[in-house]
Amino acid sequence: MSTPANAPWLVVGLGNPGPEYAMNRHNVGFMAVDLLAERIGGKFKRAGKAQAQVLEGRIGPVGTANRRVILAKPMSYMNLSGGPVNALRDFYKVPLSQVVAVHDELDIDYGALRLKLGGGDNGHNGLKSMTKAMGPDYHRVRFGIGRPPGRMQVADFVLKDFASAERKELAYFVDRTADAVECLVIEGLERAQSAYNS
């Protein structure tokens, strides 16, 4: 099935709603789409029946390279992200190949990025929920958070704020993540991988 030329991209930041989670490692997806929203110059608003906050806008240079995007933050908890994302996908008629999940990734060093299309969920509950709702063939922008130190449980690690040493570079890494999303949407996966995969 061919993709309509005017179909928007749906860029989903994964995270947990609420101020107590805002700076958690698990919420780096929210941080990246918040920055993209700033760049577009818009504000998130509640999306009708979907349990999510959305912002419609365009990214890229003015003209033909410009792309319509829906930025979204599911307001369910992380492990229930699939329902709201699928509802938005249906509402905005977004092909699965134009859905992008921005999320934290344990098996990548802190701050490193990897972009890919499809694949497993690697134990990530947000991806698990999205894949269950829609299938696995969506894009992922994976932000490395590294493994927990010592015997710390993964769940405790991802629900902790970034360490003070990490926070010194966090704004730079989130900025780079937003750049990678823009590159993916405007120039395609291969170009974005060669520019940002580390």
Lookup: tokens for 98: 């134009």
Longest dimension (CA), the chain: 52
- Whether 26 is a known active-site residue: answer yes
Q: What share of the chain is helix, strand, coil (3-state, %, to 5)?
A: 40, 20, 35
Asked if residues 133 and 88 have their Cβ atoms less than 8 Å apart, the reply is: no
SS3 of 159, please?
Answer: coil
Going by C-beta distance under 8 Å and a sequence separation of 6 or more, which residues neighbour residue 75?
Answer: 17, 46, 51, 52, 53, 84
Catalytic pick from 26, 103, 124, 139? Answer: 26
Q: Which residue pairs, CB below 8 angstroms and at least 24 apart, start in 183-191?
A: 184/100, 184/115, 184/139, 184/141, 185/9, 185/11, 185/59, 185/60, 185/67, 185/69, 185/100, 186/59, 186/60, 186/65, 186/67, 189/115, 189/116, 189/117, 189/139
Q: State the Cα–Cα distance between residues 20 and 159, nearest whole angstrom.
A: 10
Active site residues: 26
